[in-house]
């Protein structure tokens, strides 16, 4: 836990999402800051003693905001409740996720399959798959792909994040942090995410505009992965660093594994 008592304090995650706590006499101002030109959803929670907003007096204040690119927004203004007593505040939690929690997905949009036209790769885990497609990844799809298969954008947008340095992978969640990926921000502020790419297997750059069908990288077996495959999903940001996947419509029907078809 971080404690702040005097002056101004700032803290950043991934050189992207930051908060600043600034003090002036008996007032405390809390800011959320987006250091990059792409929309994010950010949440801060602070514990306080003898501090109140104009609307309430709480022991814990939590605020979530959507921040546009390079935006700095004040989310709390607190004042001493009793000027004769000491004030104190500490960070309880700070989280963020790319995208807009208020995004309205364009359900009429038709996505391409995330591979070259004319190719076919079977789905080994579909929506609600029992292996790992639960919770936030309920509407993800896993395509069985040999390593090195070209991966193409299912929908156009802006590349806002990527990683390609990792080589590790395995059938355990302890490998999750080693996944290589590309994240594309769509025009409706949802994101398309392409995971388990091979090491040095990304051919786009952050900030690059891509069209549906453009080559973005090559499939692999990195991260939380029991076999070479591509994990694809469309996500909407939520508060507290969370996100949710969304069902989407493809240009061709997606055939689920037989054991999932049987249960429906």
Give the domain extent around 142: 110-262
Does 105 reside within a domain?
no
Q: Distances from the Cα of 89 to the Cαs of 44, 62, 233, 240, in angstroms?
A: 13, 13, 39, 19
9: β partners: 21
> Domain count of the chain?
2
Per-residue pLDDT 10s for the chain (264 aa) are 444 443 456 799 989 999 999 988 789 999 999 999 999 999 999 999 999 998 888 889 999 999 999 999 999 999 999 988 998 999 999 999 999 999 999 999 999 999 999 999 999 886 765 566 666 788 999 999 999 999 999 999 999 999 999 999 999 989 999 999 999 999 999 999 999 999 999 999 999 999 999 999 999 999 999 999 999 999 999 999 999 999 999 998 877 665 555 444
Residue 83: what pLDDT? Answer: 86
Q: Among residues 68, 98, 128, which one ends one of the domains?
A: 98
CB-count burial class (<10 Å; 0-12, 13-18, 19+) for 9: middle
Q: Among residues 98, 125, 141, which one ends one of the domains?
A: 98
Q: Distances from the Cα of 96 to the Cαs of 44, 90, 139, 154, in angstroms?
A: 9, 18, 21, 25
Q: Quick count: other Cβ atoms within 10 Å of Cβ 235?
A: 24
Residues 241 and 140 occupy one common structural domain: yes
Report the half-sphere exposure of 256 (CA within 13 A, side-chain side): 15
Residues 125 and 235 occupy one common structural domain: yes
User: Can you tell me the distance from the alpha carbon of 235 to that of 246, in angstroms, rounded to the nearest whole number?
Assistant: 6
User: Can you tell me the distance from the alpha carbon of 96 to that of 91, in angstroms, rounded to the nearest whole number?
Assistant: 15
């Amino acid at each position: 836990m971080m404690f702040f008592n005097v002056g101004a304090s700032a803290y950043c995650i991934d050189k992207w999402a930051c908060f600043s706590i600034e003090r002036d006499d008996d007032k405390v101002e809390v800011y959320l800051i987006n250091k990059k030109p792409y929309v994010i959803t950010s949440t801060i929670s602070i514990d306080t003693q003898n501090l109140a907003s104009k609307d309430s007096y709480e022991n814990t204040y939590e605020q979530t905001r959507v921040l546009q690119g390079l935006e700095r927004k004040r989310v709390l203004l607190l004042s001493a409740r009793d000027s004769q007593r000491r004030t104190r505040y500490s960070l309880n939690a700070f989280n963020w996720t790319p995208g807009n929690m208020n995004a309205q997905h364009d359900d009429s949009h038709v996505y391409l399959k995330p591979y070259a036209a004319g190719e076919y790769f079977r789905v080994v885990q579909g929506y609600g798959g029992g292996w790992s497609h639960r919770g936030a990844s309920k509407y993800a799809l896993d395509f069985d792909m040999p390593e090195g298969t070209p991966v193409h954008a299912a929908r156009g947008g802006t590349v806002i994040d990527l990683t390609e340095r990792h080589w590790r992978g395995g059938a355990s969640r302890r490998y999750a942090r080693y996944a290589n990926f590309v994240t594309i921000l769509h025009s409706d502020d949802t994101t398309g995410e392409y995971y388990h790419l091979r090491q040095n297997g990304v051919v786009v750059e952050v900030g690059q505009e891509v069209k549906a069908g453009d080559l973005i990288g090559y499939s692999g077996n990195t991260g939380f992965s029991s076999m070479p495959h591509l994990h694809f999903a469309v996500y909407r940001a939520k508060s507290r660093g969370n996100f949710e996947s969304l069902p989407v419509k493809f240009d061709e029907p997606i055939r689920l594994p037989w054991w999932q078809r049987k249960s429906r």
